[in-house]
């Protein structure tokens, strides 16, 4: 089998990422590639166009982990495409929202299902599709509308990114991935939606053949690099309660 590269460190895994990339960042609470994001934060990469569910906040963690919010706060994110670009409640403040409001960062706000499907389409060689989500709202402004069977839909174009950071539960040396429960979320579709897909793995990477072919969530053929989360890495989100 064609094999992905197995990197020795998070730093190595992100070492050749250039400025200006479009980057897919999965996660919905669990399933966020904290280790790769932290490694990227520790490079000088900038002008990133991040595709992510929510722009988030700078990390409040004291263990050194960084989030997309930290990259945003440093002005290294040129644009975000997200389902949450600002807190819904006016009482909450967000650096990202302030940067968008003042023109320091470009933003594209899209319905969450549209975001997921645009990346799925990109990874599936489909340049555009129609969805009913957002019709009659500001998010459909300027987009092409079309009726099918008496209902109005809006055309949405695919996203196929330069890079994807992925967080997997298990992986084999062929790059096959298994995710755990709700940590799956955007990971399988984002793994297919980029030219270069880099995966941080929670468990030891096992030899090809050890993961049952029927239980693979992401086939290894789309994976470029794997790196195991080291003992001092950021392993799991800590329960908040």
Partner 1 sequence: MTEAHTIAGKERMSRDFIAAVIARRFPKGWLVNLGVGMPTMVGGYVHPDQEIVFTSENGVIGYGGILSGNDVDPDVVNAGVQFVDLVPGAAIVHHADSFALIRRGMNHVTVLGCYEVAQDGSFANWRTSMGEWDNLGGIGGAMDLAACAQQVWVMMEHTTREGAPRLLEHCVLPVTAPSGVTMAFTDLGVFSVKNGRFTLEEYAPGWTPEEIAALTGAPLDISPTVSEVQFPR
Which residues bind to a copy of itself, rule: CB under 8 A?
117, 121, 124-132, 146, 148-149, 151, 153, 157, 178-181, 184, 213-215, 217
**Three-state DSSP class for 24?**
strand
| Longest distance between any two alpha carbons in the chain, whole Å | 57
CB of 29 to a copy of itself, least distance (A): 17
In angstroms, the CA 231 to CA 70 distance is: 23
Query: Is residue 134 a contact point for partner 1 (CB under 8 A)?
Result: yes
Are the CB atoms for 37 and 14 separated by under 8 Å? Answer: no
Nearer to partner 1, 19 or 108 (CB): 108
> Residue 128 binds which entry of partner 1, a copy of itself, none, with Cβ cut-offs from 5 to 8 Å by kind?
a copy of itself
Q: By CB under 8 A, is residue 113 in contact with partner 1?
A: yes
> What CA–CA distance (Å, rounded) separates 91 from 117?
31
60 near partner 1, judged by CB under 8 A = no
Letters for 210-239 (x = contact with partner 1 by CB under 8 A, - = none) are ---xx-xx-xxxx-------------xxxx
Instruction: Name the strand (E) or helix (H) holding 112.
Output: helix 112-123
| Residue 117 · residue 131 · CB < 8 Å | yes
C-beta closer to partner 1: residue 7 or 45 = 7
């Amino acid at each position: 089998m064609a094999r992905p590269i197995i990197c020795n460190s998070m730093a190595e895994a992100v070492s050749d990422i250039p400025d200006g990339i479009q980057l897919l960042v999965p996660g919905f609470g669990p399933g966020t590639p904290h280790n790769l994001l932290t490694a990227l934060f520790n490079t000088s990469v900038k002008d990133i166009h991040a595709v992510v569910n929510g722009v988030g906040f700078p990390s409040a963690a004291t263990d050194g982990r960084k989030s997309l919010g930290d990259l945003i706060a440093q002005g290294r994110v040129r644009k975000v495409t997200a389902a949450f670009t600002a807190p819904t409640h006016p009482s909450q403040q967000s650096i990202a929202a302030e940067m968008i409001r003042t023109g320091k960062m470009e933003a594209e706000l899209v319905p969450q299902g549209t975001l997921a499907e645009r990346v799925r389409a990109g990874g599936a060689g489909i340049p555009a599709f129609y969805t009913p989500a957002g019709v009659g709202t500001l998010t459909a402004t300027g987009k092409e509308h079309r009726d099918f069977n008496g209902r109005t839909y809006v055309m949405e174009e695919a996203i196929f990114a330069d890079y994807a950071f992925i967080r997997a539960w298990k992986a084999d040396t062929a790059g096959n991935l298994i995710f755990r429960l709700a940590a799956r979320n955007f990971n399988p579709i984002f793994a297919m939606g980029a030219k270069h897909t880099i995966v941080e793995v929670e468990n030891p990477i096992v030899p090809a053949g050890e993961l049952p072919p029927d239980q693979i969530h992401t086939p290894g053929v789309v994976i470029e690099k794997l790196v195991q989360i080291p003992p001092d890495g950021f392993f799991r989100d800590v329960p908040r309660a």
